[in-house]
Structures are given as C-alpha cells and as structure tokens.
Amino acid sequence: MDTEPLAPAEPLPRVEPFDRSSPAGAEPHHDAFGSKPKPIYKRAGGALAAVGVLLAKFGAYLKGAVLLLPKLKLLTTAGTAFVSVAAYSLFWGWQFAVGFVLLLFVHEMGHVLQLRKEGVKASTPMFIPFMGAVITSRSLGRDALAEARVGLAGPVLGSIGAAACLVIAVASGSDFFRALAYVGFLINLFNLIPVLPLDGGRAMAAMAPWMWFVGFASLIPLLFVLHGGFVIVVILVLGAYEIRRRWRARKSGSPEQQAYYRVRPRHRLMVGVVYVGLIVALALGMDATHVLSSAGHNFRSL
C-alpha cells in the first residue's frame, strides 16, 4: 500500500505572559455588557447619597418618635392606672377601684402642677399597685420652702378631691361616695406623717428637719396596727436612707446646704399653718365618714 509522507506540523503561536498594565493608547477595558466602569469618586458619591437617604428617613422616624413621647407618657399613666384598677378590683370591686385610683391621680397632680409652677419639669403620675402612685422630676425646687410647697400641694388637691366625694355623698345619700371620701381623707392624712419621702417630710424640710426622726419612729408602731405592713416597711427603708443622706448633707455646713434650708420665719409659719390645718381638716373629714366606711371593709357591698 502506497503512503505519502506526513506534512510537517505548523508551529503553535507564541503566548505572551499576561501584562496587567495597559499600554499607552490602548482601548479601555469594557465589561461583559460593553459599559465602561464608573470612576471611584462617582461610586463613592452614589453610596453617600444612599446613606443620606437612609439618614433622612431615620431622622423623620426619630422626629415622629419625639412627637409621640407625650402620648407615650399618657399611655404609661393610663396603662399603670389600668393595672392598678385591676389589682384593687380583686378586693374592692372595680367601681371602688376606679374611684380610688382617681383620688390618687388627683393627689399626684397637685405635686405636678406645683412643680411646674416652680419651674421644674415633672412626669405624669405612674401608678404602682398597692403602693400608690409616683412622679419623677429632676428636683423639688430651688430651696426647702419650694420643696414644702410641692409636698403640701398633693394633700391640698387630694383633700379637695375627697371633699368632693363627700359632697356627692351628702347630696345623693350614696354610701359608695361616703366610703370613697373616707379613704381619700385617710390616704392624704397618712401622707402628712413627717418623714421622708412622704409629703409631711417635705414640709418638715422648711419647718423643722429634726421632725424627720420623730416621723420615722412613729411609723414603727404602725407595722403592728395597720394591715399594710409591706408599705410601711418600704417607707421605713427609703426613709432611713433619705434621712441619713440629707441630714449628713445638711450638717456639712456647705454654703449650698445653708442656702437651701434658709427659710424666713414668716414663711416657716405659713407652712406650719397649712400643715396643721390640713391635719385638722382631714381628721374632721374622716370623723364625718368613719361610720359607714368602718362597716365596709369589703367595698363590693357598697
């Protein structure tokens, strides 16, 4: 069989090593879609624009949240009031529980209004079941006299609220409102015990701070008289800490402390008149309502 010689193979093309640098005059690189890549400053500008949009949206949300803060405070007040009503309803029924929480609200609003009059921002009341209600503020005023005014404003407005219940009871013959008035007089009178952090202790800051120790000692027998022993224990613990702290600060003799407790005699007398007058009025109010309330330990029957 005849054969022809094989033709010599053509030499393979030479492959040059990859060069990352673009030679002068070379066409710029295009991606798979044929578009030129954006310069880095344009890409950074786009990223910054996106961040700006996000910050603008966040600012709008933050502004909305700030505008909602007063409503959130009101929701806190309403929410804690609802919880307290539910708790007190277990023992007194919901009608009396609502009235009791409203009396606490009136009392605390006395403090709030007076604090605002003193130029101090105060929170709305927050209710604590079986402990009452509290408000928060950065101070109680510029001096002991302002503190006394703030402390007594609660029992003053609270006594008016209890007296309103008594007026309704007399006008309508309602045992329910008479019992509610009795409890209102009682809680405001209790708050006038001259011990910190009760309202009576605030009044003593302007009258006679040494009375804090008398008020503290008077609470100890109440542990064995009243059924609300837990509340008394809490007040004793808080009172022991607060009296010790403030008494030491007062005895330090610093100019700030001397200025804080400097009260003119006529102002001290005015505080004393209001303090004693409240005690007398509240005691008379309890005397006018004690017969029906003493028979109504379970307020469901009222």
The mean-pLDDT minimum among 23-32, 206-215, 234-243, 276-285 falls in: 23-32
pLDDT at residue 264 in the model:
95
The predicted model scores a pTM of: 0.72
C-alpha span between 76 and 71 (Å, rounded): 9
Residue 30 has pLDDT above 70, yes or no: no
Q: Give per-residue burial for 171-198: e unless 16+ CB within 10 Å, then b.
A: eeebbbbbbbbbbbbbbbbbbbbbbbeb
pLDDT at residue 38 in the model:
53
In a domain, 171, yes or no: yes
In a domain, 33, yes or no: no
C-alpha span between 26 and 182 (Å, rounded): 99
- 108-129 average pLDDT score: 92
- Cα distances from 79 to residues 124, 126, 137, 255, in angstroms, run 12, 9, 20, 43
Give how far the C-alpha of residue 281 lies from the chain's centroid of Cα atoms, to the nearest Å.
31
In a domain, 232, yes or no: yes
Residue 48 has pLDDT above 90, yes or no: no
- 69-87 average pLDDT score: 74
In a domain, 173, yes or no: yes
Give how far the C-alpha of residue 243 lies from the chain's centroid of Cα atoms, to the nearest Å.
23
- Which residues pair with residue 126 across a beta bridge? 134
In a domain, 70, yes or no: yes
Task: List pLDDT tens digits, range 231-272.
Answer: 888 999 999 999 999 999 998 889 999 999 999 999 999 999
Structural domain span for residue 101 = 46-301
C-alpha span between 83 and 89 (Å, rounded): 10
Helices 265-294 and 175-190: angle between axes, nearest 10 degrees = 140
Using 50, 70 and 90 to split pLDDT, how confident is the model at 296? very low
C-alpha span between 285 and 63 (Å, rounded): 49
Higher pLDDT: 12 or 114? It is 114
- 53-77 average pLDDT score: 49
Residue 190: half-sphere exposure toward Cβ, Cα within 13 Å:
17
pLDDT at residue 73 in the model:
56
- Give which of 152, 136, 134, 146 is closest to 199, Cα–Cα: 152
Residue 7 has pLDDT above 50, yes or no: no
Of the chain, the percentage scoring pLDDT greater than 70 comes to 70
The three-class DSSP label of residue 233 is: helix
The mean-pLDDT minimum among 30-39, 93-102, 107-116, 280-289 falls in: 30-39
Evaluate the omega torsion of the peptide bond into residue 11 and state whether it is cis, within 30 degrees of 0.
no
Domains identified in the chain, total number: 1
C-alpha span between 207 and 192 (Å, rounded): 13
Q: Which two tokens stand for residue 38?
A: 């954006």
In a domain, 8, yes or no: no
Element (H, E) at 75: helix 40-92
The mean-pLDDT minimum among 33-42, 123-132, 140-149, 273-282 falls in: 33-42
In a domain, 22, yes or no: no
Average pLDDT, the chain: 79
C-alpha span between 266 and 18 (Å, rounded): 100
- Cα distances from 183 to residues 77, 86, 126, 131, 297, in angstroms, run 22, 18, 20, 14, 11
Highest-confidence segment of 4-13, 36-45, 248-257: 248-257
In a domain, 234, yes or no: yes
The mean-pLDDT minimum among 64-78, 91-105, 245-259 falls in: 64-78
Q: Which two tokens stand for residue 145?
A: 């006299």
112: CB partners within 8 A, 6+ apart:
122, 123, 124, 125, 135
The three-class DSSP label of residue 137 is: strand
Residue 12 has pLDDT above 50, yes or no: no
- 94 contacts 46 by C-beta, under 8 angstroms: no
